[in-house]
């Protein structure tokens, strides 16, 4: 073990340490993503789109072409880029509010059109940047600023299951998985496959990453990890839902 | 339940967002629809904590298009429904509010302005004046109150429900991040205890049958001919023009003999007031004019003020969004125009004093 943090080559060193709160999962997702970009050797071809949400703190995170868009609109912005220049590798990076609430129409329609982009969605069970309101992914009974008495599923329904939804509306060629920051090696392999799927021109690629938000969860390190590993996985099953490459490969 | 949220009157010290939530309760609002955005979040936070205790409801929607349209649905059902937003959310709400304008749906919207598009900045700004007054694809048949302090946030939030339901035009309370987040003293009260009558609501759809017979209603924004639409707009304009004198509000002092009148609105008018008082104390002939309603605009009075002075100095935290309304209102006047525009940043009385002294 070494104390020197290993930073992916694609990270922008001048902007480190990054701006996420201590214990935040965003940094880990972006670490896995950075390593995937490095291993695929695609740094010069990537266009990284960052949504509004804590994702926006990544607007200067990588040494790759980056555009920070509007809340929920990253999917259509990078779709526009990809349609105009199919040679670049487009990533849409967003939160669960950005992807499943305000931007859900874009997620659904990009998936239905089988856009050759890679969407990465960070599930932290709340609207973090705005101070911890209910998100589509907030767990039943979970207290947030707009569910001060706990999320009542009779009033607000069950948490959105994003990858399952996207899997239901996509046809052949799409890659869909749910990873977690509790298993970074696996998350990295999912992200890598999602990028490779785009590079192969197969179709829409989507990875949800279970993540942490100790600031709004108001949890210490131990409870934060317990929440991701035990509570979130009760509703959000980790694994691959669709993998076009698996048919021949495995 | 059922007990009044505010008994009699109470001196309190709270943030502007908390004030709005209390005012909505005091006005007997039934339901809030909303989507998180700084700097209005705490309106929802306080509402979701307090509302269930009084049998009131809340729906967090998937975005502001939905928050706006669900609010219209709530109003159509005859409820006192409201929403609150800011910046990019205000942009999205222009679609539902265009519908409200042309269907005369008395929705109430609190806007806590923030700076620039996307995430930009969230505290001090008056950059949503044009959008809030004329942002839809329509003719701007709306009512907009621009508040300057917490007492006004309380008073005008209550008033907004009354104005909306009395005249049947969408009504806005235009605050800003500074008012939303700052703490200030004010008196909260039960409006009915003060003799303020709360205008009754009435369903547009889902009405009970009359004498056992259901009278279906058909609400629309579709017209077969250009003339048909023209007729509706002409009628709306007549209505709007007729009620304008009842709705317009402004404040002014020391304008009669002033060589320069400082025109400002909202939070900036606090600095302007302080500056004009200071300049008067120094013996300088300076006056103060503040439109409280930005739509409809107190045009006649401002025109008279313009005709009686040499220069209007327009001060605002934008590149002249209020100034456009002013110039439109005083068209034809030969008064000179000076400006102090600071888009998206605060304006202090010192700056206004310095500016005025430099002009005299
Ligand atoms: C149109 C619009 N509405 C609302 C907002 C306010 N807003 C900024 S970030 C955010 C929530 C972000 O939550 P999420 O997408 O889950 O990302 P997180 O911060 O949790 O990573 C919201 C509602 C906005 N910027 N634009
Ligand atoms: S608020 Fe939550 S999601 Fe945002 S940076 Fe902090 S820990 Fe991460
Ligand atoms: Mg989130």
Q: Cα distance from A128 to chain B (closest Cα, Å)?
A: 10
With a 6 A CB cut-off, is A76 part of the ligand 2 pocket? Answer: no
Tell which of B62, B86, B180 to mutate to test the A interface (max A CBs under 10 Å): B62
Number of Cβ within a 10 Å radius of residue B322: 26
> Which pLDDT score, from 0 to 100, does residue A248 have?
53
- Return the axis-axis angle of helices A104-112 and A162-169, rounded to nearest 10°: 40
Distance between CA A173 and CA A179 in Å, rounded? 19
Residue spans per domain, chain A: 21-249
Domain for residue B242, yes or no? no
Residue B251 and residue B180 in contact, taking contact as beta carbons nearer than 8 Å? no
- Return the axis-axis angle of helices B87-103 and B64-76, rounded to nearest 10°: 30
Distance between CA A233 and CA A231 in Å, rounded? 6
> Which pLDDT score, from 0 to 100, does residue B116 have?
84
As averages over each run of 10 residues, the pLDDT of chain A (250 residues) reads 75 94 97 98 97 96 96 96 96 98 98 98 98 98 98 97 98 96 98 98 98 98 97 97 77
Q: Of all helices (H) and strands (E), which one includes residue B250?
A: strand B250-253
Tokens 């992807």 map to which residue?
A99
Q: Is the dihedral of CA B278, B280, B286, B288 positive or negative?
A: positive
Distance between CA B331 and CA B333 in Å, rounded? 6
Chain A from 16 to 75: CB within 8 A of any B CB: 52, 56, 68-72
B192-201, long-range: CB < 8 A, 24+ apart:
B193/B8, B193/B9, B194/B9, B196/B158, B196/B162, B197/B162, B198/B27, B198/B28, B198/B161, B198/B162, B199/B161, B199/B162, B199/B165, B199/B166, B200/B165, B201/B78, B201/B79, B201/B80, B201/B165
Both B161 and B259 in a single domain?
A: no
Q: How far is CA B179 from the centre of its chain?
A: 13
**pLDDT tens per residue, range B299-319:** 999 999 999 999 999 999 999
Find the CB nearest B48 among A52, A71, A146.
Answer: A146
Among B360, B310, B320, B317, smallest CA distance to B342 is for B317
Chain B contact set for A131 (CB, 8 A): 36, 38, 41
Region B264-272 average pLDDT: 98
Supply the residue whose CA is at minimum distance from atom 3 of ligand 2.
A213
Domain for residue B246, yes or no? no
Could you please report the per-residue DSSP string of B61-102?
-SSHHHHHHHHHHHHHTT--EEEEE-HHHHHHHHHHHHHHHH
Mean pLDDT of chain B: 96
Structure tokens that stand for B94 in this block = 């222009």
Residue A108 and residue A83 in contact, taking contact as beta carbons nearer than 8 Å? no
Domain for residue B154, yes or no? yes
- A222-231, B121-130, B235-244: segment of lowest average pLDDT: B121-130
Both B264 and B176 in a single domain?
A: no
Q: How confident is the model at residue B280 (pLDDT cuts 50, 70, 90)?
A: very high
Domain for residue B212, yes or no? no
Region B247-266 average pLDDT: 98
With a 6 A CB cut-off, is B60 part of the ligand 1 pocket? Answer: no
Structure tokens that stand for B62 in this block = 């998937």
Residue A118 and residue A94 in contact, taking contact as beta carbons nearer than 8 Å? no
CA angle centred on A225, ends A224 and A226, rounded to 5°: 95
**pLDDT tens per residue, range B175-196:** 999 999 999 999 999 999 999 9
Both B167 and B255 in a single domain?
A: no
Domain for residue B67, yes or no? yes
> Which pLDDT score, from 0 to 100, does residue B124 have?
85
Distance between CA B328 and CA B347 in Å, rounded? 24
Distance between CA A165 and CA A154 in Å, rounded? 21
> Which pLDDT score, from 0 to 100, does residue A105 have?
97
Domain end call among B150, B178, B194: B194
Domain end call among B194, B212, B239: B194
Residue A220 burial by CB count (10 A; 0-12/13-18/19+): exposed, middle or buried?
Answer: exposed
Region B259-283 average pLDDT: 98
Both B23 and B104 in a single domain?
A: yes
Tokens 């309304």 map to which residue?
B325
Q: For domain A21-249, give its CATH number from 3.20.20.70, 3.40.50.300, 1.10.274.100, 3.40.50.970.
A: 3.40.50.970
Q: What is the ipTM of this complex?
A: 0.89
Both B43 and B178 in a single domain?
A: yes
Structure tokens that stand for A119 in this block = 């969407």
> Which pLDDT score, from 0 to 100, does residue B276 have?
98
* CATH (domain of B71): 3.40.50.970
Could you tell me which residues are beta bridge partners of residue B291?
B250
> Which pLDDT score, from 0 to 100, does residue A249 have?
45
Q: How many residues does chain B have?
A: 360
Distance between CA A208 and CA A206 in Å, rounded? 7
Percent of chain B at pLDDT exceeding 90: 93
Say if B60 is an interface residue toward chain A (CB within 8 Å).
yes
Domain for residue B305, yes or no? yes
Split into its structural domains, chain B has a count of: 2
Domain for residue B333, yes or no? yes
Say if B48 is an interface residue toward chain A (CB within 8 Å).
yes
Could you please report the per-residue DSSP string of A96-134?
HHIIIIITHHHHHHHHHTT-S-EEEEEE-SEETTTTSEE
Find the CB nearest B37 among A56, A130, A146.
Answer: A130
pTM of the full structure? 0.94
* CATH (domain of B349): 3.40.50.920
Chain A from 156 to 215: CB within 8 A of any B CB: 156
Where in the sequence is the domain holding B257, given as residue range(s)? 251-359
Q: Does a cis peptide bond (omega within 30 degrees of 0) precede residue A17?
A: yes
Residue B112 and residue B157 in contact, taking contact as beta carbons nearer than 8 Å? no
Domain for residue B143, yes or no? yes
B52 Cβ neighbours under 8 A, 6+ residues apart: A149
**pLDDT tens per residue, range B56-94:** 999 999 999 999 999 999 999 999 999 999 999 999 999
Domain end call among B153, B173, B194: B194
- B1-5, B34-38, B139-143, B299-303: segment of lowest average pLDDT: B1-5
């Amino acid at each position: 073990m070494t104390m020197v943090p290993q930073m992916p080559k694609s990270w922008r060193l001048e902007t480190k340490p990054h701006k996420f709160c201590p214990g935040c999962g965003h940094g880990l997702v972006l670490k896995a993503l950075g390593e995937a970009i490095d291993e695929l050797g695609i740094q010069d071809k990537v266009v990284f789109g960052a949504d509004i949400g804590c994702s926006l703190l990544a607007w200067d995170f990588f040494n790759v072409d980056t555009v920070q868009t509007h809340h929920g609109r990253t999917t259509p912005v990078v779709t526009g880029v990809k349609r105009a220049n199919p040679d670049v590798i487009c990533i849409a990076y967003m939160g669960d509010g950005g992807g499943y609430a305000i931007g859900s129409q874009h997620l659904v329609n990009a998936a239905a059109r089988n856009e050759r982009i890679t969407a990465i969605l960070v599930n932290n069970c709340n609207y973090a940047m705005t101070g911890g309101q209910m998100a589509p992914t907030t767990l039943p009974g979970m207290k947030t600023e707009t569910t001060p008495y706990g999320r009542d599923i009779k009033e607000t329904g069950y948490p959105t299951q994003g990858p399952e939804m996207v899997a239901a509306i996509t046809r052949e060629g799409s890659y869909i998985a749910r990873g977690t920051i509790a298993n970074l090696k696996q998350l990295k392999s999912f992200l890598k496959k999602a990028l490779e799927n785009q590079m192969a021109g197969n179709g829409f690629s989507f990875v949800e990453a279970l993540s942490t938000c100790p600031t709004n969860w108001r949890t210490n390190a131990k409870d934060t990890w317990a929440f991701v590993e035990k509570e979130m996985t009760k509703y959000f099953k980790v694994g691959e839902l669709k993998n076009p490459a698996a048919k021949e490969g495995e | 339940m059922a007990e009044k949220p505010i008994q009699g009157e109470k001196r309190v010290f709270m943030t502007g967002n908390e004030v709005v939530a209390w005012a909505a309760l005091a006005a007997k609002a039934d339901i809030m629809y909303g989507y998180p955005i700084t700097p209005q979040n705490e309106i929802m936070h306080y509402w979701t904590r307090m509302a269930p205790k009084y049998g009131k409801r809340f729906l967090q929607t998937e975005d502001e298009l939905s928050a706006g349209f669900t609010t219209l649905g709530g109003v159509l059902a005859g409820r006192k429904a409201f929403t609150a937003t800011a910046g990019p959310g205000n942009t999205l709400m222009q679609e539902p509010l265009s519908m409200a304008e042309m269907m005369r749906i008395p929705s109430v919207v609190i806007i806590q302005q923030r700076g620039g598009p996307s995430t930009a900045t969230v505290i001090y700004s008056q950059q949503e004046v044009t959008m809030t007054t004329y942002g839809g694809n329509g003719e701007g048949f709306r009512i907009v109150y621009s508040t300057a302090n917490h007492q006004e946030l309380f008073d005008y939030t209550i008033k907004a429900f009354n104005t909306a339901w009395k005249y049947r035009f969408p009504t806005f309370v235009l605050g800003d991040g500074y008012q939303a987040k700052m703490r200030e003293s004010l008196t909260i009260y039960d409006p009915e205890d003060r003799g303020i009558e709360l205008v009754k609501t009435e369903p547009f759809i889902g009405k009970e049958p009359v004498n056992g017979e259901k009278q279906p209603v058909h609400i629309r924004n579709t017209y077969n001919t250009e003339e048909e639409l023209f007729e509706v707009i002409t009628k709306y304009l007549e209505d709007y023009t007729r009620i304008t004198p009842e709705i317009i509000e402004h404040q002014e002092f020391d304008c009669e003999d002033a060589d320069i009148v400082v025109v400002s609105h909202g939070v900036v008018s606090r600095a302007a007031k302080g500056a004009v008082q200071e300049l008067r104390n120094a013996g300088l002939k300076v006056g103060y004019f503040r439109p409280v309603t930005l739509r409809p605009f107190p045009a006649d009075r401002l025109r008279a003020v313009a005709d009686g002075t040499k220069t209007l100095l327009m001060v605002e935290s934008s590149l002249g969004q209020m100034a456009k309304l002013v110039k439109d209102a005083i068209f034809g006047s030969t008064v000179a125009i000076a400006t102090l525009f600071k888009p998206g940043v605060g304006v202090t009385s010192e700056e206004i004093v310095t500016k005025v002294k430099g002009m005299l």
